[in-house]
């Protein structure tokens, strides 16, 4: 009777905990979504088959991560471990809500496989996380540094790693206590727990109720950590745990380096070439759009999605020729700045509309012209990014704003622009004089 009341009390507390977790999580996600509506449209989402293959290759297969084979291997183990362990977490939620134990045992042999791999992966992930922590704290890896990597970025990474480690330790503790509990009570062990069985003797000295309490403590510690972790993620670089898979699915499929034409400019050029060309005329009251990107309301939704997905791993900056030769540009910073700027301006836009002005902008208050013009558009950053973020699209759109709205460009480029305007060529002489250099040559010019 008392045991039944205890189970029911646990169910009620658990249901309330889930409600709070979901409530906070929904609030955070809706807040982020509300900022998306200020961004611009981007490429249409087609080619689902191709997108699926990219996602399987880059996100599930972790192929880009393996370009740094040793540390990439450990990262891939953590990712695959999460994919397996999540089934155990689902089982815990069902157990907690319905007051049962190991509910997925109905799956029979499959349950054994899921539990065994989750149990082993808990140890593998814990070891990998310890390796990551040692690298971060003691090895001073170059790509973890940079002007954009403030104290908060490092704290953020360390907190997330600590939480993952605690998650794995509590999972191992829970499995070990469960194995010992079933052995002490003479009950069947549902599932296979290779690591749990090895650790179970640690609880052998406890009475039956002692093991039961230990199991309950680990169970609650693990599930509460999951709930807290899920709500901390959207505020940290570890949001990529949720977003990296969809972001790879939403990859820009055009070849790297292919520029997207601006519709307004395309129309003007086509009209110059063919005055009879017809186009859909924009409505008279349509707002005049800005050329390029000055602030967060000018970026595409994909740019913003990229910024939320960025893991701050620094792989992009470590291959950037501008960054590695000491220029101010760091492609990682561009996306960290976009995320920070949206966080700053988003609430104001939600309250006062898209025209909200706080006399700041992404350009200059966050990203300088010097950074933008340092980019060689080589696309090494986009090629290397393990979650398929495309940096040059944003950098080029910010340059477009500078050139087309402010006529601001480095002197060398300005000279070239006026030469093109005056001479129809980037050089400082008329196109009619282009072949003067051939005059004294003994060759036939066609």
Pick 315 or 400: Cβ nearer ligand SF4: 315
Closest alpha carbon to 233 in 161, 143, 149, 127: 161
Q: How many residues sit in the footprint of ligand SF4 (CB under 6 A)?
A: 27
308 touches 296 (CB < 8 A): no
Q: Is 316 in the site for ligand SF4 (CB under 6 A)?
A: yes
User: Is 316 in contact with 391 (CB distance < 8 Å)?
Assistant: yes
State the minimum distance, in angstroms, from the CB of residue 313 to ligand SF4: 4
CB of 337 to ligand SF4, least distance (A): 12
State which residue, 172 or 334, has the beta carbon closest to ligand SF4: 334
Residues in 116-145 at the binding interface with ligand SF4, rule: CB under 6 A: none
The distance of closest approach from Cβ of residue 320 to ligand SF4 in the complex, given in angstroms and rounded to an integer, is 3
Which one of 335, 366, 373, 401 is in contact with ligand SF4 (CB under 6 A)?
335
Nearest distance from residue 217's CB to ligand SF4, in Å?
37
Least Å from the CB of residue 315 to ligand SF4: 4
Which of the residues 342 through 401 are near ligand SF4 (CB under 6 A)?
375-381, 384-385, 387, 389, 391-392
The candidate with the shortest Cα–Cα distance to 237, out of 311, 176, 317, is: 311
| H helix intervals, 186-294 | 194-199, 208-232, 240-249, 263-273
The residue from 315, 339, 341, 345 that contacts ligand SF4 (CB under 6 A) is 315
3-state secondary structure of 367: strand
Q: Does 81 bind ligand SF4 (CB under 6 A)?
A: no
Binds ligand SF4 (CB under 6 A): choice among 55, 177, 320, 367: 320
What DSSP assignment string belongs to 259-281?
A: PPPPHHHHHHHHHHH-TT---PP
Partners of residue 367 on adjacent β-strands: 363
Helices and strands per DSSP (H, E), number in the chain? 18, 0
DSSP state of 288: P
Distance CA 340, CA 265 (A): 31
Mark the segment that binds ligand SF4 (CB under 6 A) among 79-87, 186-194, 311-319, 435-443. 311-319
User: How far is 218 from 214, CA to CA, in rounded Å?
Assistant: 6
96 or 392: whose CB is closer to ligand SF4?
392
| Residue 6 C-beta: closest distance to ligand SF4, Å | 46
Does residue 172 bind ligand SF4 (CB under 6 A)?
no
Considering only residues 122, 157, 245, 313, which one is a binding residue for ligand SF4 as defined by CB under 6 A? Answer: 313
**In angstroms, what CA-CA distances link 426 with 155, 268, 405, 420, 431?**
49, 21, 21, 5, 10
Shorter beta-carbon distance to ligand SF4: residue 95 or 371 = 371
Is residue 146 within the footprint of ligand SF4 (CB under 6 A)? no
Asked if residues 342 and 336 have their Cβ atoms less than 8 Å apart, the reply is no
Contact call for residue 322 and ligand SF4 (CB under 6 A):
yes
CB of 242 to ligand SF4, least distance (A): 14
Q: Which is nearer to ligand SF4, 81 or 314 (CB)?
A: 314
Q: What angle do CA 296, 297, 301 make, to 5 degrees?
A: 85
72 binds ligand SF4 (CB under 6 A): no
Q: Any idea what the Cα angle at residue 443 is, between residues 440 and 446, rounded to 5°?
A: 110
Q: Which stretch binds ligand SF4 (CB under 6 A): 131-139, 161-169, 228-236, 315-323?
A: 315-323
User: Is 321 one of the binding residues for ligand SF4 (CB under 6 A)?
Assistant: yes
How long, in residues, is the chain?
A: 446
Asked whether 331 and 323 are in contact (CB, 8 A), the reply is yes
CB of 105 to ligand SF4, least distance (A): 39
Return d(Cα 45, Cα 162) in angstroms, integer: 37
**Do residues 134 and 182 touch, judged by C-beta distance below 8 A?**
no
Question: Closer CB to ligand SF4, residue 119 or residue 384?
Answer: 384
Summarize as ranges the residues that interact with ligand SF4 (CB under 6 A): 310-316, 320-322, 329, 331-332, 335, 375-381, 384-385, 387, 389, 391-392
């Amino acid at each position: 009777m008392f045991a039944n009341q205890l189970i029911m009390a646990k169910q009620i507390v658990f249901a309330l905990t889930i409600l709070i977790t979901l409530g906070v999580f929904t609030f955070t996600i809706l807040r982020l979504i509300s900022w998306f509506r200020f961004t611009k449209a981007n490429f249409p989402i087609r080619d689902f088959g191709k997108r699926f293959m990219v996602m399987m290759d880059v996100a599930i297969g972790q192929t880009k991560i393996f370009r740094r084979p040793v540390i990439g291997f450990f990262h891939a183990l953590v990712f695959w471990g999460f994919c397996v362990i999540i089934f155990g977490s689902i089982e815990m939620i069902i157990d907690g809500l319905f007051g049962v134990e190991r509910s997925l045992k109905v799956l029979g042999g499959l349950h054994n496989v899921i539990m065994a791999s989750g149990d082993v992966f808990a140890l593998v992930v814990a070891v990998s996380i310890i390796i990551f922590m040692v690298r971060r704290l003691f090895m001073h890896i170059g790509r973890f540094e940079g002007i954009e990597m403030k104290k908060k970025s490092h704290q953020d990474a360390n907190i997330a790693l600590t939480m993952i480690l605690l998650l794995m330790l509590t999972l191992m503790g829970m499995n070990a206590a469960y194995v010992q509990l079933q052995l002490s009570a003479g009950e069947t062990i549902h599932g296979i727990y290779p690591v749990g069985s090895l650790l179970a003797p640690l609880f052998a000295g406890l009475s039956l109720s002692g093991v039961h309490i230990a199991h309950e403590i680990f169970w609650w510690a693990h599930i509460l950590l999951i709930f807290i972790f899920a709500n901390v993620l959207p505020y940290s670089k570890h949001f990529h745990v949720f977003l990296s898979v969809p972001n790879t699915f939403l990859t820009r499929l055009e070849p790297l380096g292919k520029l997207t034409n601006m519709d307004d400019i395309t129309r003007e050029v086509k009209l110059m070439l063919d005055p009879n060309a017809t186009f859909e005329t924009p409505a008279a009251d349509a707002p005049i759009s800005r050329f390029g990107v000055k602030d967060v309301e000018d970026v595409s939704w994909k740019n913003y999605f990229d910024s939320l997905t960025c893991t701050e791993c620094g792989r992009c900056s470590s291959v950037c020729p501008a960054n590695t030769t000491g220029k101010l540009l760091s492609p990682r910073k561009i996306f960290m700045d976009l995320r920070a700027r949206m966080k700053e301006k988003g609430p104001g836009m939600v309250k006062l509309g898209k025209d909200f002005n706080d006399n700041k902008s992404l350009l200059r208050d966050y990203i300088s012209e010097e950074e933008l013009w340092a980019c060689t558009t080589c696309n090494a950053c986009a090629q290397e990014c393990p979650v398929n973020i495309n940096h040059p699209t944003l950098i080029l759109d910010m340059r477009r704003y500078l050139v087309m709205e402010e006529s601001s460009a480095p002197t060398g480029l300005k000279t070239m622009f006026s030469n093109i305007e005056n001479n129809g060529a980037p050089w400082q002489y008329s196109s009619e004089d282009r072949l003067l250099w051939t005059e004294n040559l003994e060759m036939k010019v066609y």
